[in-house]
Amino acid sequence: MALQSSGAISLNDVNVELGNSGTAYITMGSAAVRDLFGVASGAISLSDGYGASAVEPWMGDRGLFGGGISSYAFQNVIQYITITSTGNATDFGDLTLARETLGACSSGTRGVWGGGYSNPKSDVLDYVTIASTGNATDFGNLLGPTSNIGALSNTTRGLWHGGHDGTSPIDVLQYITIASTGNATDFGNLTVSGQHLGSCSSATRGVVAGNRTASQNVIDYVTIATTGNATDFGDLTVNSQTPTGCSDGSRGVFGSRRNSALNVIDYITIASTGNATDFGDLTVSRSSTAACGNSTRGVWAGGFQETNTIDYVTIATTGNATDFGDLLGVLQTAAGCAGD
């Protein structure tokens, strides 16, 4: 569903698109409306909402998982699922380079993987067309070789965050324009240096959470269309190493972590700020999963110690995850994205 592309838009229409009651109280300057209309600040009018959809186009129904490590061997395999159904993953093709602890994002049309560890660390960016199957193509390079890195996106930009440069954890944010090819550009910095950070996004905001370094509960956010340093958002419910995140465009969920709360899932409302709330639990306690989502479901796949488990939740609700199916084999530290 989307708002009309011409004529009068009413607040009732906006409420329905946001999933609210048509008569619910709403203001044009609210974070939810700005997020839907793609107007981060300043003057906003109903006509800014022409064609706006609460179903984010980069959250298609095909989920892809690429790279990782299995039985101590780096993997280049990309595999895919149909998020709206359940079942086992299917082979898609191969990355240009076998590696683990990489980050992935998508525009809904293209999926892009970047960075990772392949002995040595990598700065490689490569991409696929999600609707087809086949091997990845070279896209460009990150600012430098970086492992333990994460990524998030909207329809236009992909952002990679944090990681380890071979000497220490870093606070670097860097971005690409997904529709083109080329090298990444500096975006700004996180509030703290970190690696193995989880992330999710809306059309306007990117949110980064957790930290393998010192097992932190920090949540940061950025406005994707701009450049600049991240701002504090709030805290996860527990200190979290290696969480992975996804969203339905409004609610972000973070699952899996390498500490005492291995199966915990937290959630946030992306358009606001504040601390996370407990959502439920994964079916299997694990860390270093790959995650993706569509407008309804969040999916986590694989994880440490090497498992082939895929499980899912309905993001708009709360509750424990449900078994989805299996990956092609046991896998950890892969990276996931989704599109059509």
Average pLDDT over residues 284-313: 94
pLDDT number for residue 57? 57
Whole-angstrom CA distances from 337 to 1, 19, 119, 271 are 22, 24, 24, 21
- Phi and psi for 87 in degrees, rounded to 5? 145, 175
* Least-confidence region, from 81-95, 110-124, 229-243, 247-261: 247-261
Peptide bond into 174 cis (omega under 30): no
What confidence score (pLDDT) does residue 213 get? 65
Q: What is the DSSP letter of 224?
A: T
DSSP string for 97-146: S--BS-EEEE-SSEEEEE--BSSSB--EEEEEETTS-S--EEEEE-SS--
Mean pLDDT check: name the lowest of 23-27, 125-129, 165-169, 321-325. Answer: 23-27
Tell whether the model's pLDDT for residue 54 goes beyond 70: no
CB 158 within 8 A of CB 94: no
Return the higher-pLDDT residue of 191 and 51.
191
Domains of the chain: 11-49 (no CATH), 62-339 (2.120.10.80)
pLDDT band per the 50, 70, 90 thresholds, residue 306? confident
Confidence (pLDDT) at 31: 74
pLDDT at 212: 67
Instruction: State residue 23's pLDDT score.
Output: 80
- On average, the pLDDT of the chain sits at 91
- What is the pLDDT averaged over residues 298-305? 94
Distance, in Å, from the CA atom of 243 to the CA atom of 83, rounded to the nearest integer, reads 20
User: Which range (111-125, 147-161, 183-197, 237-251) has the least confidence?
Assistant: 237-251
Rounded average pLDDT over 88-96: 98
Residue 269's pLDDT band (cuts 50, 70, 90): very high
Residue 289 has pLDDT above 60, yes or no: yes
- pLDDT computed for residue 125 by the predictor: 98
pLDDT, position 92: 98
> With the C-alpha atoms ordered 277, 306, 312, 173, is the resulting torsion angle positive or negative?
positive
| Stretch 277-291: mean pLDDT | 94
More confident residue, 94 or 241: 94
DSSP 236: -
pLDDT at residue 215 above 70? no
Rounded to an integer, the average pLDDT of 285-309 is 94
CA distances from 139 to 155, 158, 271 (A): 17, 12, 31
- What CA–CA distance (Å, rounded) separates 44 from 204? 15
Say yes or no to pLDDT of 114 above 60. Answer: yes
Q: Which two tokens stand for residue 220?
A: 């940061």
pLDDT above 70: residue 56? no
Asked whether residue 186 carries a pLDDT value surpassing 90, the answer given is yes
Which residue type occupies 104?
A
Decide: 254 and 265 in contact? Cβ < 8 Å.
yes
Q: How far apart are CA 126 and CA 108, in angstroms?
A: 15
**Is the pLDDT assigned to residue 259 strictly greater than 80?**
no
Q: Tell me how far apart the alpha carbons of residues 231 and 216 are, in angstroms, rounded to a whole number.
A: 16
The pLDDT confidence band at residue 216, using thresholds 50, 70 and 90, is confident
Q: Greater confidence, 30 or 170? A: 170
Asked if the model's pLDDT at residue 12 lies above 60, the reply is yes
Picking from 154, 164, 267, the residue whose alpha carbon sits closest to that of residue 206 is 154
Residues 278 and 237 sit within 8 Å (Cβ to Cβ): yes
- Residue written as tokens 């529709």? 179
122/248 Cα distance (integer angstroms):
30
